[in-house]
Amino acid sequence: MSNVGKLIVISGPSGTGKGTILRELLERTGATFSVSVTTRRRRPGEREGEAFYFVDRDTFAEMVRRGEMLEWAEVFGEMYGTPAGPVRKAIQDGKTVILEIDVQGGLQVAKQMPGATFVLILPPSEEELARRLCGRGTEDQESRKRRLEKAAEEIDTAIRSGVYNHRVVNDDLEKAVRKVVRIVNEESGNE
């Protein structure tokens, strides 16, 4: 038995409830969240270094150039990436690390980290996804439209890839949280 930790990648369309599930997951398991770097603007209530590190485009490009990103992608016109150093260190220290990233990024991770686990969070329906995005109130109409258009494509890519072998429909939140907690515990060797 090695003491090396596990990497768990959680993806799914914007508005599916990844962030909501993740908050519960981190409370109920000993897993660590990998804080991404992004060029998108900070939303009200978001604090630097919590969900994201907020940087400008030049800084992001420099990090990519130096090979500091485990993966990175352009999502809705903004850059998002996972700093590799903290992830590799946490795994070496035996921790379970959670990445909440888009499918393009997930597929890059699949190539580099063959032992990782991939979870796709699905909305119960397109209509419900539209309602959730609207209810969250963080995007304008144009941005919501783009997110909805991308949703079907992202799900399709994830399923076709064969990489996302765990799929959780986020209909009843508590049930969805329990399913993801079970996956994380099983993969971490806690069950």
Residues forming contacts to ligand 5GP in the complex (CB under 6 A) are 14, 36, 40, 71, 73, 75, 80-82, 100-102, 104-105
Which of ligand 5GP, ligand ADP, none does residue 173 bind (CB under 5 to 8 Å by kind)? ligand ADP
Residue at token pair 């907020």 = 54
- Out of 170, 180, 184, 188, point to the residue binding ligand ADP (CB under 6 A): 170
Using CB under 6 A as the binding rule, whether residue 173 contacts ligand ADP is answered as yes
Q: DSSP labels for 66-116?
A: TT-EEEEEEETTEEEEEEHHHHHHHHHTT--EEEE--HHHHHHHHHH-TT-
Contact 87, 32 (CB under 8 A): no
Q: How far is the CB of 19 from ligand 5GP (least distance, A)?
A: 7
- Sign (positive or negative) of CA dihedral 83, 85, 90, 91: positive
- Residue 10, H or E segment: strand 7-11
Using CB under 6 A as the binding rule, whether residue 19 contacts ligand ADP is answered as yes
Which of ligand ADP, ligand 5GP, none does residue 135 bind (CB under 5 to 8 Å by kind)? ligand ADP
- Residues interacting with ligand ADP, by CB under 6 A? 12, 14-20, 132, 135-136, 170, 173
